[in-house]
């Protein structure tokens, strides 16, 4: 792959949307997806929506497009996606809450892949930095130790 080509996106936005929609339709979904955290979402605004919904459910409040609307109304990322109407679209586009755990597992798996790729890229970068520090421009070639005469 040429260096100019951006790497493929390791995410499934539709799975994130379906998961959030299921949660907004039925807050009991949170019991089945408790292993998910906001960091697992590729789309940052999805992580923030999840955080608000999770926090409200854990506080014993209803988390729905209607109840979260005033809390998320000023979120710039949400505004870029259509504002608080996006919350209603998430819930309205949800086909089934039964598949919420599958959506959550997909979101988690893709997060794990992104983390592995990030770790590999960081290791590669650190290796290049170490190599570059050993041999700076203008440095002479490393000296070789004279060999001992085996006699």
Dihedral through CA 41, CA 47, CA 49, CA 50, nearest 10?
A: 70
Convert the pLDDT of each residue in 59-99 to its tens digit.
Answer: 999 999 999 999 999 999 999 999 999 999 999 988 889 99
Residue 20 lies in a domain: yes
Cβ count within 10 A of residue 148: 6
The residue length of the chain stands at 151
Mean pLDDT of the chain: 88
Q: What pLDDT score does 135 carry?
A: 58
Judge whether 8 lies within some domain. no
Domain count, the chain: 1
Instruction: Decide if 23 is inside a domain.
Output: yes
Residue 28 lies in a domain: yes
User: What residues make up the domain containing 82?
Assistant: 13-133
Q: Is the pLDDT of residue 32 over 60?
A: yes
Evaluate whether residue 7 is within a structural domain: no
d(CA 140, CA 125) in angstroms, rounded, equals 24
Give the Cα separation of 44 and 103 in Å (integer).
Answer: 17
CA distance 114 to 10: 6
pLDDT digits (tens, 9 = 90+) for 93-130: 888 899 999 999 999 999 999 999 989 988 877 777 66
Does 149 reside within a domain? Answer: no
Residue 143 included in any domain: no
Q: Indicate whether 94 belongs to any domain.
A: yes
CATH of the domain at 17: 1.10.860.10
* pTM for the model: 0.78
What is the predicted pLDDT for the residue at 14? 96
């Amino acid at each position: 792959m040429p260096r100019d080509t951006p790497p493929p996106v390791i995410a499934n936005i539709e799975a994130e949307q379906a998961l959030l929609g299921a949660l907004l339709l039925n807050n009991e979904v949170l019991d089945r997806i408790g292993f998910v955290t906001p960091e697992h979402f590729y789309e940052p605004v999805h992580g923030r929506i999840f955080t608000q919904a999770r926090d409200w459910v854990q506080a014993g409040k209803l988390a729905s497009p209607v109840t979260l609307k005033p809390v998320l109304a000023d979120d710039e990322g949400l505004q870029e996606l259509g504002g608080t109407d996006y919350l209603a679209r998430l819930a309205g586009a949800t086909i089934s809450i039964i598949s919420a755990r599958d959506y959550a597992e997909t979101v988690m798996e893709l997060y794990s892949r992104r983390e592995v790729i990030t770790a590999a890229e960081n290791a590669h970068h650190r290796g290049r930095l170490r190599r570059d520090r050993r041999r700076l421009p203008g440095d002479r070639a490393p000296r070789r130790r004279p060999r001992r005469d085996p006699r």
